[in-house]
Structure 1
Amino acid sequence: MGHSLPPVSAQSTLPFTSPTTELRGVWLTNIDSDVLFSRENLGRAIQRLKRLNFNTIYPTVWNWGYTLYPSRVAERVVGRSIDPHPGLARRDMLAEAVIRGHRRGMTVIPWIEFGLMAPADSDLVSRHPDWVTNRLDGSQIIYEGTHPRVWLNPTHPEVRQMLLDLVNEIVTNYDVDGIQFDDHFGMPVELGYDPYTVRLYQQEHGGSLPPNDPHDLEWVRWRADKITSLMTEVFRTVKARKPRAIVSLSPNPWEFAYETYLQDWFTWERRGLIEELIVQVYRDDFERFTSELQRPEIQLAKSHIPVGIGVLTGLRNRPVSMEQIQTQVQAVREHQFAGVSFFFYETLGDRDADFRSLFRQPVTRPRVG
Structure 2
Amino acid sequence: MKFTSLITSALSFKAKYLIILFILCLQLTSVFAQELPNREFRGVWVATVSNLDWPQQGASAETQKTALRTLFDKIKEANLNVVFLQVRTECDAFYNSGKEPWSRFLTGQQGVNPGYDPLAFAIEEAHKRGLELHAWINPFRVNSSTSSSIVYASNHVSKAKPEWLLSFSTGKKILNPGIPEVRNYIASVVQEIAENYAVDGIHFDDYFYPYPENNFTGITTEDSQTYSQFGTGFTSIGDWRRHNINETIRLANEAVKNARPTARFGVSPFGIWKNGTPTGITGMDAYSAIYADALNWLENQYVDYLSPQLYWAIGGSQDYRKLLEWWSDKAYTSSRHLYAGHALYKTTYSEQEVPNQINITRQNRHKNALGDVLYRATNLKDNALNIHTLLQNTTYKYPAAPPAMNWKNGTPPAAPQALTAAINETTGDIEFTWQRNPANSDTHKRYVLYTSATPPTSIAEIQDGSVRALEVAESFTMAAADVPPNASYWVVTELNAGNLESELSNVATVGNVASIRNIARESVLKVYPNPATRVVYLDLKLKRNSLVKVELVAIDGKVRGRAVQKRYEAGNHTITINRDKLPAGIYALVINIDRQRVTKRVVLK
Please confirm whether the aligned pair reaches a TM-score higher than 0.5, indicating the same fold: yes
CA contact under 8 A between 2:209 and 2:219: conserved in structure 1? no
Aligned mates of 1:329, 1:309 — CA distance in 2: 8
Q: Which amino acid aligns with 2:324?
A: L
| Deviation (angstroms), 1:186 | 4.5
Q: Identify the residue that residue 279 of structure 2 maps to in structure 1.
A: none
| Deviation (angstroms), 1:320 | 4.6
CA contact under 8 A between 1:72 and 1:81: conserved in structure 2? no
Aligned mates of 2:195, 2:250 — CA distance in 1: 18
Aligned mates of 1:183, 1:56 — CA distance in 2: 19
Structure 1 residues 133 and 16: alpha-carbon distance in aligned structure 2, compared to 1, 3 A threshold: farther
| Deviation (angstroms), 1:149 | 2.1
CA contact under 8 A between 2:231 and 2:237: conserved in structure 1? no
Aligned mates of 1:103, 1:224 — CA distance in 2: 40
| Deviation (angstroms), 1:353 | 2.1
Aligned mates of 1:19, 1:186 — CA distance in 2: 37
Pair 1:41 & 2:60 matched:
no
Aligned mates of 1:57, 1:298 — CA distance in 2: 22
Residue 165 of structure 1 aligns to a residue in which SS? helix
Pair 1:311 & 2:342 matched:
yes
2:309 maps to which of 280, 283, 288: 280
Output the TM-score relative to the length of structure 2: 0.50
Q: How many residues align?
A: 326
Residue 309 of structure 1 aligns to a residue in which SS? strand
| Deviation (angstroms), 1:33 | 2.7
Q: Identify the residue that residue 291 of structure 2 maps to in structure 1.
A: 262
Residues 1-150 of structure 1: matches in 2 within 5 Å? 17-30=35-48, 31=50, 33-37=52-56, 38-74=64-100, 80-83=101-104, 85-86=106-107, 89-112=114-137, 114-119=138-143, 120=146, 123=152, 124=156, 126-127=158-159, 128-133=161-166, 140-142=168-170, 148-150=171-173
- Show CA shifts across 1:319-355 (max 9, x none): 7542222222222222332111000000112343222
Aligned mates of 1:168, 1:202 — CA distance in 2: 27
Q: Identify the residue that residue 581 of structure 2 maps to in structure 1.
A: none
- Show CA shifts across 1:276-320 (max 9, x none): 11111000353411111122x5412134112010000016xx575
Q: Which has the larger radius of gyration?
A: 2
Q: Identify the residue that residue 391 of structure 2 maps to in structure 1.
A: 355
Residue 279 of structure 1 aligns to a residue in which SS? coil
- Show CA shifts across 1:189-248 (max 9, x none): 62464365133246446xxxx8xxxxxxx3211221122122211111111111221111
- Show CA shifts across 1:156-214 (max 9, x none): 23422331221011001100111011211445562464365133246446xxxx8xxxx
Aligned mates of 2:223, 2:164 — CA distance in 1: 9
Q: Identify the residue that residue 340 of structure 1 maps to in structure 2.
A: 372
| Deviation (angstroms), 1:84 | 5.2
1:179 maps to which of 177, 199, 202: 202
Residues 150-229 of structure 1: matches in 2 within 5 Å? 150-186=173-209, 190-191=219-220, 193-194=222-223, 196-201=225-230, 203-204=232-233, 218-229=236-247
Identity of aligned residues (%): 24
- Show CA shifts across 1:257-284 (max 9, x none): 2111111110111111100111110003
Q: Identify the residue that residue 267 of structure 2 maps to in structure 1.
A: 249
Which structure dedicates a bigger proportion of its chain to helix?
1
Aligned mates of 2:136, 2:220 — CA distance in 1: 24
Q: Identify the residue that residue 232 of structure 1 maps to in structure 2.
A: 250
Aligned mates of 2:38, 2:344 — CA distance in 1: 24
Q: Larger RCO: Structure 1 or Structure 2 (Cα < 8 Å, ≥ 6 residues apart)? A: 1
Output the TM-score relative to the length of structure 1: 0.80
Aligned mates of 1:97, 1:117 — CA distance in 2: 23
Aligned mates of 2:302, 2:122 — CA distance in 1: 26
Q: Unaligned regions of 5+ residues in structure 2, if any? A: 1-31, 57-63, 212-217, 275-284, 408-605
2:330 maps to which of 277, 291, 300: 300
Q: Identify the residue that residue 5 of structure 2 maps to in structure 1.
A: none
**How well do the aligned residues superpose, as a CA RMSD in angstroms?**
2.6
Aligned mates of 1:104, 1:57 — CA distance in 2: 11
Which structure dedicates a bigger proportion of its chain to strand?
2
- Show CA shifts across 1:35-93 (max 9, x none): 3341011111112211221000000011134222221110xxxxx33335328811211
